[in-house]
Amino acid sequence: MTAATDLANTVQTDIRRELGLRPIINASGTMTVFGASIMVPEAIAAMAAIAGEFVEMQHLHQLASEAVSSATGAEAGFITASCASAITLAVAATLTGDRLLAIERLPDTTGLKREVLVQLGHMVGYGASLEQTIAMTGARVVPVGTVSMARDYQLDEAITESTACAVFVVSHMTVQYAMLSLEQVCRICHAKGVPVIVDAASEYDLRAFLACGADLVVYSGHKFLGGPTSGIVAGSRALVRAAALQNRGIGRGMKVGKESIAGVIAALQAWGRRDHQAIRARERQALDLWLQVMAPSADVHGRLVPDPTGNPLDRLRVTVLPSSLWTARRLADALAAADPPVMVRDYQTDLGYFDLDPCNLHPGEAEKVAHQLAACLKL
- The amino acid at residue 338 is A
Asked if 165 and 188 count as a contact pair (C-beta separation under 8 A), the reply is no
Q: State in angstroms the smallest separation of the CB of 27 from ligand PLP.
A: 18
Beta carbon nearer to ligand PLP, 114 or 122: 122
Q: How far apart are CA 152 and CA 185, in angstroms?
A: 8
Q: State in angstroms the smallest separation of the CB of 367 from ligand PLP.
A: 29
Q: State in angstroms the smallest separation of the CB of 36 from ligand PLP.
A: 7
Beta carbon nearer to ligand PLP, 179 or 300: 179
Q: Which of 25, 134, 166, 169 binds ligand PLP (CB under 6 A)?
A: 169
Span near ligand PLP by CB under 6 A; candidates 157-165, 198-206, 256-264, 339-347: 198-206
Q: How far apart are CA 291 and CA 302, in angstroms?
A: 6
Q: How far apart are CA 143 and CA 314, in angstroms?
A: 32
Q: How far apart are CA 258 and CA 72, in angstroms?
A: 21
If you ran DSSP here, which 8-state letter would residue 138 be given? T
| Site map 294..333 versus ligand PLP, x via CB under 6 A | ----------------------------------------
Identify each DSSP E strand in the chain by its residue range: 25-27, 76-80, 115-119, 140-144, 163-169, 196-199, 216-220, 231-235, 300-306, 314-320, 342-344, 353-356
Considering only residues 210 to 229 of the shown chain, the ones binding ligand PLP according to CB under 6 A are: 220
Beta carbon nearer to ligand PLP, 162 or 171: 171
Asked if 23 and 34 count as a contact pair (C-beta separation under 8 A), the reply is no
Considering only residues 28 to 87 of the shown chain, the ones binding ligand PLP according to CB under 6 A are: 32, 82-84
Q: State in angstroms the smallest separation of the CB of 67 from ligand PLP.
A: 18
Q: For residue 317, what are the β-bridge partners?
A: 303, 355
By the 10 Å C-beta count (0-12 exposed, 13-18 middle, 19+ buried), 170 is classed as buried
Q: Which of 201, 239, 328, 359 binds ligand PLP (CB under 6 A)?
A: 201
Mapped to the 3 state alphabet, what secondary structure does 161-205 carry?
A: CCEEEEEEECCCCCCCCCCCCHHHHHHHHHHCCCCEEEECCCCCC
Q: State in angstroms the smallest separation of the CB of 171 from ligand PLP.
A: 4
Q: Is 202 in the site for ligand PLP (CB under 6 A)?
A: yes
If you ran DSSP here, which 8-state letter would residue 40 be given? P
Q: Which of 146, 162, 171, 309 binds ligand PLP (CB under 6 A)?
A: 171
Beta carbon nearer to ligand PLP, 32 or 163: 32
Interface contacts to ligand PLP, rule CB under 6 A: 32, 82-84, 126, 169, 171, 199, 201-202, 220, 231
